[in-house]
Amino acid sequence: MDSLSDAVAWMAWTWQTVLFFAALAACLAGLTALAVYRPETPHVGVLGFATTRGDRFFVSLLLSAFIFVGFIRFGGQDFTWPGLAALAATALMFRFA
C-alpha cells in the first residue's frame, strides 16, 4: 500500500480513495458487461417507475451516502453500522426497486 500511496501522492491521492474509486469503476465496468451480455428489461418496483440495474445501483449509492451523512450528523462513531445499513439498503434496492 505504501508504494501505491507514493505513486498517487502528488495529486493528494491516498490508497483508500484509490481503492474506493477503483471499486466504483469496477462496478460500472461490470454493469456495462452485464448490460451487453445479459440484457435486461426494466421493471417497476417500489420506486414507482421502471428501473434498470444501473438505476438501482445509482440509487443505492445515493442512499448509502445519505446513510453515512445521517450517521455522522447524529454523532455516530463506529462505522460498521452505517456500512452494514448501506449494504442492506443496496440489497433491498436491488431486490425490490
Partner 1 sequence: MDSRVWDNRAWLFVVPVMAFVLFSSLIPMMTVVNYSFQDSMGQNSFFWNGPGWFQNLLDPTTAVGARFQGALLRNFAFSFTVLAIEIPLGIAVALCIPKSGWRVGAVLVAIALPLLIPYNVVGTIWQLFSRTDIGLLGVALGRSGVPFNVTQNAGSAWAVIVLMDVWHWTSMVALLCYAGLKAIPDAYYQAARIDGANRWSVFRNIELPKLRKVLVIAMLLRFMGSFMIYTEPFTVTGGGPGEDTSFLSIDLVKMALGQVDLGNAAAYSLVYNLITLTVCWMFFTYTTHADSKDVA
Residues forming contacts to partner 1 in the complex (CB under 8 A) are 9-14, 16-17, 20-21, 36, 42, 44, 48-50, 55, 58-59, 62, 65-66, 69, 72-73, 75, 79
Q: Please, are residues 45 and 95 in contact by the beta-carbon 8 Å criterion?
A: no
Smallest distance from the beta carbon of 79 to partner 1, in angstroms? Answer: 7
Smallest distance from the beta carbon of 24 to partner 1, in angstroms? Answer: 10
Vertex 27 angle, CA 26 and 32, to 5°: 95
Of 11 and 38, which CB lies nearer to partner 1 in the complex structure? 11
Of 8 and 92, which CB lies nearer to partner 1 in the complex structure? 8
Of 12 and 80, which CB lies nearer to partner 1 in the complex structure? 12
DSSP notation for 17-68? HHHHHHHHHHHHHHHHHHHHHS----EE-TTSSEE-HHHHHHHHHHHHHHHH
Smallest distance from the beta carbon of 44 to partner 1, in angstroms? Answer: 5
Smallest distance from the beta carbon of 12 to partner 1, in angstroms? Answer: 5
Question: Distance between CA 30 and CA 28 in Å, rounded?
Answer: 5
